[in-house]
Chains A and B, each alone.
Chain A
Amino acid sequence: AQSVAQPEDQVNVAEGNPLTVKCTYSVSGNPYLFWYVQYPNRGLQFLLKYITGDNLVKGSYGFEAEFNKSQTSFHLKKPSALVSDSALYFCAVRDNTGGFKTIFGAGTRLFVKA
């Protein structure tokens, strides 16, 4: 069965510093991996996805993520955090076994301090 783990409930970082939000996954077969961001009382916004190709994926708002097959990880990164990046971030894996369901991690709350 597909599963996603986000080991950190919360990440705190100072504005201007690099940020990393961790995600590990478990899938049978090739993973389709996603990162989403959610602001309070809002729906999800897509940040980036990995399907195939380069392990480093660039997405919206300056975010990027690195796919590491040996470590089954897909960590979200940004070189320089902004206060406006403070939000809830979800890692997700798509079920490719026919149901096409997206399984979400528990979410990591990012706080960027000015």
Chain B
Amino acid sequence: GAVVSQHPSWVICKSGTSVKIECRSLDFQATTMFWYRQFPKQSLMLMATSNEGSKATYEQGVEKDKFLINHASLTLSTLTVTSAHPEDSSFYICSARPPGVEGYGYTFGSGTRLTVV
């Protein structure tokens, strides 16, 4: 089945630095990937839709200059948290869309826990 790999699984960084999170579709090509953010004890909130070869579509309220998304190939999307602050600490999850199959939507990465100190 479709597998999505997310790396790293956890990261600690200092305030003001940038962190890159990778999302890879291992056995299929994904023209679209989604990035979610989850605060403690809360649901996942969609941050942006990543489109291969074009600009990402950000949800309302998400700072595109802070959360840089690059979908340079059909198997890789990256989320870079720039100039990270403690309030950016969260659990980030990506999802990739296998092509052409009804009922897709259930291929998620294992998530990245970001802690900004």
Contacts and interface: CB of A to CB of B under 8 A. Distances in A.
Interface of A: 32, 34, 36, 41-46, 49, 51, 90, 92, 94, 99-107
B95 A102 contact: yes
B44 A90 contact: yes
B106 A34 contact: yes
A107 B10 CA distance: 22
Nearest to B113: A41
Interface stretch (B14-22, B61-69, B80-88, B97-105): B97-105
Given A43-B110, A44-B93, A104 B105 contact: no
Contact of A36 (B41, B46, B49, B106): B106
Contacts, number: 59
B45 to A, nearest CB: 8
Contact of A42 (B36, B46, B110): B110
A103 B105 CA distance: 10
Contacts of B36: 104
A25 B34 CA distance: 21
Contact of B34 (A43, A45, A102): A102
A44 B108 contact: yes
B42 A107 contact: yes
Nearest to B93: A43
Interface in B16-59: 32, 34, 36, 41-46, 49, 57
Question: Would you list the 8 A-B pairs with minimal beta carbon distance, nearest first?
Answer: A46-B106, A43-B110, A43-B111, A44-B108, A106-B43, A104-B43, A51-B103, A104-B44
B111 A42 contact: yes
Nearest to A47: B106
Nearest to B110: A43
Contact of B105 (A43, A100, A106): A100
- Among B6, B49, B95, B105: residue with most chain A CB under 10 A: B105
